[in-house]
């Protein structure tokens, strides 16, 4: 279903500069319409963020593609995602052959997406809790992807990164964020590249925004 719409979306994100063929291949295979509320089906393959309930969103496809490309995912890379949300980003990473660990702090969303993963046979390790402190049990990770905007880079996430690994995280105020691509060069040594102007829902937790 929606083959043509999906291919159009892949072409659009390629035109906007995504050139990692493995990212583009995953986008042509993962069916975004399965990750959004039924009422929004006709918008599934537009390059826009969509509401998924509980004040949360499924990120814009271009943003998902950009962040995934920045991670430089390889087959068998161990990737930690903070903010499972709809599960779409995790499904893309899984499709690329990564071992995916994903944390969600909102119980209803966690539950719903866990069930969806089971139904679609997407084998992602999920956890309900505060992702700002990471998931120490399975650390270190080759890549960490934060899909909600944070006031700063949580120290726990830097710590749980493998040397040579990358952390991709939106940092800024609650209105707009810069994407930071953080590479761990050595223990306690990081290189940071900033990419301007993305918009994300807030990352709420111990090392993120405090709950209002």
Residues at the interface with ligand SAH (CB under 6 A): 56-59, 82-83, 85-86, 88-89, 103-106, 109, 130-132, 147-148, 201, 203-205, 208
- Report angle CA 195, 196, 199 to the nearest 5 degrees: 115
Task: Name the catalytic one among 28, 42, 59, 152.
Answer: 59
185/166 Cα distance (integer angstroms): 9
Closer CB to ligand SAH, residue 167 or residue 187?
167
28 a catalytic residue:
no
Which residue number places its CB atom closest to ligand SAH? 85
Query: Minimum distance from CB of 92 to ligand SAH (Å)?
Result: 8
Grouping H, G, I as helix, E, B as strand and the rest as coil, residue 21 is: helix
Taking the CB of residue 186, how many other CB atoms lie within 10 A of it? 8
Burial 96-129 (b: 16+ CB within 10 A, else e): bebbbbbbbbbeebbebbbebbeeeebebebbee
Query: Minimum distance from CB of 8 to ligand SAH (Å)?
Result: 20
Secondary structure E strands in 83-176: 99-104, 125-128, 141-146, 161-172
Closer CB to ligand SAH, residue 14 or residue 201?
201
Query: Minimum distance from CB of 167 to ligand SAH (Å)?
Result: 15
46/49 Cα distance (integer angstroms): 9
Tokens describing residue 163 = 């040397």
Query: Minimum distance from CB of 144 to ligand SAH (Å)?
Result: 12
Closer CB to ligand SAH, residue 41 or residue 185?
41
Query: Minimum distance from CB of 191 to ligand SAH (Å)?
Result: 25
Closer CB to ligand SAH, residue 174 or residue 185?
174
Closer CB to ligand SAH, residue 132 or residue 182?
132
Grouping H, G, I as helix, E, B as strand and the rest as coil, residue 150 is: strand
φ and ψ at 96, to 5 degrees?
-80, 0
Q: Just list the catalytic residues.
A: 59
């Amino acid at each position: 279903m929606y083959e043509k719409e999906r291919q159009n979306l892949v072409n659009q994100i390629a035109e906007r500069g995504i050139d990692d063929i493995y990212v583009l291949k995953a986008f042509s295979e993962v069916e975004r319409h399965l990750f959004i509320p039924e009422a929004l089906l006709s918008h599934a393959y537009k390059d826009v963020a969509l509401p998924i309930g509980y004040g949360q969103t499924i990120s814009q496809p271009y943003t998902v593609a950009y962040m995934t490309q920045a991670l430089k995912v390889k087959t068998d890379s161990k990737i930690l995602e903070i903010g499972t949300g709809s599960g779409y980003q995790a499904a893309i990473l899984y499709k690329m052959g990564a071992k995916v660990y994903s944390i969600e702090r909102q119980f209803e969303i966690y539950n719903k997406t866990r069930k969806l993963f089971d139904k679609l046979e997407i084998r992602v390790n999920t956890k309900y809790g505060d992702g700002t402190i990471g998931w120490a049990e399975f650390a270190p990770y080759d890549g960490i992807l934060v899909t909600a905007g944070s006031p700063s880079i949580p120290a726990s996430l830097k710590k749980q990164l493998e040397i040579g690994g990358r952390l991709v995280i939106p940092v800024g105020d609650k209105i707009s964020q810069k994407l930071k691509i953080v590479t761990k060069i050595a223990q306690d040594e990081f290189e940071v590249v900033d990419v301007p102007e993305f918009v994300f829902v807030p990352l709420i937790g111990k090392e993120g925004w405090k709950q209002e």
